[in-house]
Structure 1
């Protein structure tokens, strides 16, 4: 069964380019296009696409103003030239499941990102991942404890905090006086409890809580 995609960008050439990239995967099909946020909301309500590729800077209604409502009808993958940390943080906080910055990804990355967000996971360009880590560092741990996502042990919380700071498994092991194998085991438990499959997804999910 094909995955329906809505493409939202005020640049017609960019929309055509995105259509071409997505056409390379027979599992994906573009079911609609919009040139601004208002059009995007109307089409999302009508078509209920699995994924919406959303630009940020657009006339009438920009991406930031509609990402929250779009997220009620579709998984939102922001695709924009903006690498402003404030914009990235707002998009993620308002419900975007992924954030790709033009120039920081290949066509194959976009196709994979679409599949990842459909599966309930996240996908971030390097700059967006850096912002997500900063958000996680600044948010007090007590605000991030959500029993609905699994009960993390104190040790798992410690590992997750260091993961959100961008530390490698070896560095986490050194700081907590653990073996790397033990750290990997803790990460596997964390991923299972948060419902994610990678380090980046864990940071995004933890930050979004």
Structure 2
């Protein structure tokens, strides 16, 4: 849907409350560079409108009938940049929205019309805009990701040191790692596409190289190395 001479920045408003939709429309259309392309009252309508209109930005509420914001965000984000606009400030929800592709997150009651307009323009430009509580959650997500990466790096280094120290082959190391995860011989065989006899032979070689006699001893020594 286009209009002669219409500005490029088109917005889709998604909220089940018609009063909220009307207020948002008034704020957005009071700005000469923004046009509201359509409104939707639930997630299903939102997907259809986003697919049809390809708005620059979609303002997306979370609590809606039929399909809520979180459940449809990833689909909508294929067609438009999403700015979540909701009353929910739950950290788990914010994290979920950001993981699903939200470019911005504003909480009702924590922004004024000027900030809303700026947020829409920032998101339209490919940047992000987060309310303070959402920014805190985003920062926590970054820290958690960095911690996971450090943990994976440390685990990789530890396995390399242990492999070099004990002289395990790559396959023996794979078997040992699954043993540490508590898998039985049958489960290890299934995971590695081996026979149980082959797994047993690998474990016998591992025990000999680690100088242990039991699975428990092997796990303790391997994980403490």
Query: What's the TM-score once normalised by structure 1's chain length?
Result: 0.67
Indicate which of 99, 102, 113 corresponds to 2:105.
99
Alignment partner, residue 144 of structure 2: 138
Alignment partner, residue 24 of structure 1: 30
Q: Secondary structure at the match of 2:13?
A: strand
Alignment check: 8 A CA contact 1:99 1:128 kept: yes
Alignment partner, residue 198 of structure 2: none
Structure 1 residue 127 corresponds to structure 2 residue 133:
yes
User: Partners in 1 of 2:134 and 2:110 — Cα distance?
Assistant: 10
Alignment partner, residue 39 of structure 2: 33
User: Partners in 2 of 1:143 and 1:80 — Cα distance?
Assistant: 32
RMSD: 1.3
Alignment partner, residue 10 of structure 1: 16
Alignment partner, residue 203 of structure 1: none
Total equivalences in the alignment: 144
Give 1:143 shift.
4.7
Where structure 2 has 5 or more consecutive residues not aligned to the other structure, the ranges are 1-6, 151-225
Give 1:23 shift.
1.3
User: Partners in 1 of 2:31 and 2:106 — Cα distance?
Assistant: 19
Alignment check: 8 A CA contact 1:21 1:107 kept: yes
Query: What's the TM-score once normalised by structure 2's chain length?
Result: 0.62
User: Partners in 2 of 1:140 and 1:76 — Cα distance?
Assistant: 25
Alignment partner, residue 177 of structure 1: none
User: Partners in 1 of 2:135 and 2:75 — Cα distance?
Assistant: 23
Alignment check: 8 A CA contact 1:2 1:26 kept: no
Max Rg structure? 2
Per-residue Cα deviation, 1:114-158 (whole angstroms, up to 9, x for no partner)? 1001111000000000101111111136759xxxxxxxxxxxxxx
Per-residue Cα deviation, 1:53-80 (whole angstroms, up to 9, x for no partner)? 0000000000000000100000000000
Q: Secondary structure at the match of 1:105?
A: coil
**Misfit runs of 4+, over 4 Å:** 141-144
Indicate which of 66, 75, 97 corresponds to 1:69.
75
Cα gap change, 1:23/1:129 in structure 2, threshold over 3 Å: closer, same or farther?
same
Cα gap change, 1:61/1:22 in structure 2, threshold over 3 Å: closer, same or farther?
same
User: Partners in 2 of 1:136 and 1:46 — Cα distance?
Assistant: 34
User: Partners in 2 of 1:86 and 1:6 — Cα distance?
Assistant: 25
